[in-house]
Amino acid sequence: MACGLPAAVSGCSALPEIGRDAAAYFDPSNAEEMAAVIGSLLRDQSRRREMAEKGLRRAADFDWGKTATETLEFYRAVVGNP
């Protein structure tokens, strides 16, 4: 997603929470479904473009500086040190 490409990923674990509507999901134990999802992205140029744009916006939410700042703020709140 961060590279501007559509993402086809497993619909299991935390990936749907991370990708939200910016990724296409498949059941990783179902090879036919995986192929269908990837194939649909390969065939549908407008969907590819839409997913790529959504992916870039979603990937921007994951920034190491932002993560470090939010983690530090959380630790300070927990120990009562503003």
Instruction: Tell me the pLDDT of the chain (82 aa) as tens digits.
Output: 999 999 999 999 899 999 999 999 999 999 999 999 999 999 999 999 999 999 999 999 999 999 999 999 999 999 987 6
pTM score, two decimals? 0.77
Residue 37's H or E segment, with its range, is: helix 31-43
Query: What is the structure's pLDDT at 11?
Result: 95
The position carrying tokens 């059941």 is 27
**Residue 69: how many CB atoms within 10 A of its CB?**
11
